[in-house]
Amino acid sequence: MLLFLSVPQPRPPGARTRAGAARVARWRWLRLQQLRRLRGLLRVLRGRPEAGTRRRGRMALCGQAAGAASLPSELIVHIFSFLPAPDRLRASASCSHWRECLFYPALWPQLRICLRVSPAEQPRLEFLMRKCGWFVRELHVEFAAENYLSGGGPGDGGGADTGTGGEEVEALQLSARWLEVLRTYLELVLCVLVSIRNNRNLQKFSLFGDISVLQQQGSLSNTYLSKVDPDGKKIKQIQQLFEEILSNSRQLKWLSCGFMLEIVTPTSLSSLSNAVASTMEHLSLLDNNIPGNSTLITAVELERFVNLHSLALDFCDFTAEMARVLTDSNHVPLQRLSLLVHSVSIMHKSLDNMPNDEHWKALSRKSTNLRVYIMAFDIKSEDMLKILKPSIPLERIHFDSYITCVSGAIVDLISRQYDKFLTHFILMNDVIDTSGFPDLSDNRNEDPLVLLAWRCTKLSLLAIHGYTVWAHNLIAIARLRGSDLKVLEVTEESIDFDQGELADQDVDPVHNLIEQHNSNKPVHQVSQSTVD
């Protein structure tokens, strides 16, 4: 602004005559008053009010208020563009004119919303989507249901009931909470879809549902859904709205829908025009609630998506024919392939049509920068041995188990086959009984996790929970990878110590382990947030 004031102003016309000189003086006086009001407004926004007497302060405040009301909308929007979202909301409370400028489309090109599945969220969501849904270009919505399905809360009668009667009461209360969660979930999804149904400028659209909304102790909550929506009208309305959004889109480049209860159907993608499908860059469809052998996308449908850079699917849906389609010359090289392997899908679908090693070799030749991410839920070792082909360019793998644990042989196979690519290895075992975690090093000369750290030279993240990790092996892993291992997270209950080490220590062994790590520079990356 100081540079703006120092720029010489052009000489007004008629300045050579006496009348012209009067006009010039008047013009300069008006110009000076406008600049003073603008400078006062900027001082208010910066939180630095003008110093002076109380009277001068009151006069300046009046002048600033008048200036704020008279500023054009374009200038207010320009000022808002430099402010973070919370400051924009506070500034918009100054007057109605500023409040009208708050939801100018240029200020909200993208929205990232994380919603608790709670009735209190619905009014706020409706207001926000009513204001921004018709013009937002990038929309990312996540649904989180934690704190709603946990037992033992107020009114649960914890400890009051015992025996069979207490279990029945607890089951009824859990059932009531599930019904409330699913009812609210459907209303929130409808609110989002209705607000963007006519948005033709949408470029990125991402929906991600909390898996606890869809599952109860590993089984899908169709029983509760039939009570909330007995005739299926809401589910059908949601599916129709989703297809309407796809059919109305003209600039959609990114489409992601994961763990959303029955939103995507096998016919949803047919609503996309050929022009939009040919320019799509990212496609993610993850839903293990599709009955029978139905798939969300077929190889024939995939032929329209010639510009895909990243693709995420259920592993059972990624067939050998799809791998062949992606190697065609009219498709651009694929850069990221994310595959979800779920025990529910394997139960209902066959692995006979999955790509063999030759298909993976051809796909890797076509897409030289391709990297694969696999997330496996409760997969048996014999099934993993079928899935893990040697030619997969596996960069990240995440195991999450409730019933079936990962064996040491699988870890050893991964470290031998994917030593050139693997950067992230996550091993989670969400068991209720923490008294005895499985030990991957049983009956082995070397711990498979130590061999993984030794062979995989690009390993940058290693996270372990629910598996026994010996303290000396943990130190060995950290020292082998040194500063290249950016994250090493091991929960405290997973760490075990030799009895001889415990006898020689007078302090907490976990804290002693941390001290050993901190005393050596290459191993300071061990996460104390999970160990301490």
Per-residue pLDDT tens over the stretch 130-187: 888 999 999 999 987 654 444 433 333 344 444 555 666 666 666 777 788 888 888 9
**pLDDT value for 218:** 39
**pLDDT value for 404:** 83
Mean predicted confidence (pLDDT) in 379-388: 92
Give the start-to-end residue ranges of the domains of the chain: 70-102, 110-148+174-289
Mean predicted confidence (pLDDT) in 492-514: 64
pTM beyond 0.95: the answer is no
**pLDDT value for 475:** 86
Query: What is the Rg, in whole angstroms, of the alpha carbon atoms belonging to the chain?
Result: 31
Q: Identify which has the larger pLDDT, 281 or 2.
A: 281
User: What backbone phi and psi angles, to 5 degrees, belong to 448?
Assistant: -60, -30
Q: Is 257 left (phi over 0), alpha (psi -120 to 50) or beta?
A: beta
Q: Identify which has the larger pLDDT, 47 or 101.
A: 101
Alpha-carbon 188 to chain mean position:
18
Alpha-carbon 62 to chain mean position:
47
What CATH architecture does domain 70-102 belong to? Up-down Bundle (1.20)
Residue 291 scores a pLDDT above 60 = no
User: Which pLDDT band holds residue 336 (cuts at 50, 70, 90)?
Assistant: very high
Which pairs count as long-range contacts for 346-349, CB under 8 Å and 24+ apart, including other chains? Answer: 346/316, 346/379, 346/383, 348/291, 348/292, 348/293, 349/293, 349/316, 349/317
Residue 499 scores a pLDDT above 80 = no
User: Which pLDDT band holds residue 405 (cuts at 50, 70, 90)?
Assistant: confident
**pLDDT value for 90:** 83
How far apart CA 94 and CA 464 sit, in angstroms, is: 51
Residue 219 scores a pLDDT above 50 = no
Residue 480 scores a pLDDT above 50 = yes
Mean predicted confidence (pLDDT) in 180-200: 90
**pLDDT mean across residues, the chain:** 79
Residue 215 scores a pLDDT above 90 = no
Residue 532 scores a pLDDT above 80 = no
**pLDDT value for 93:** 80
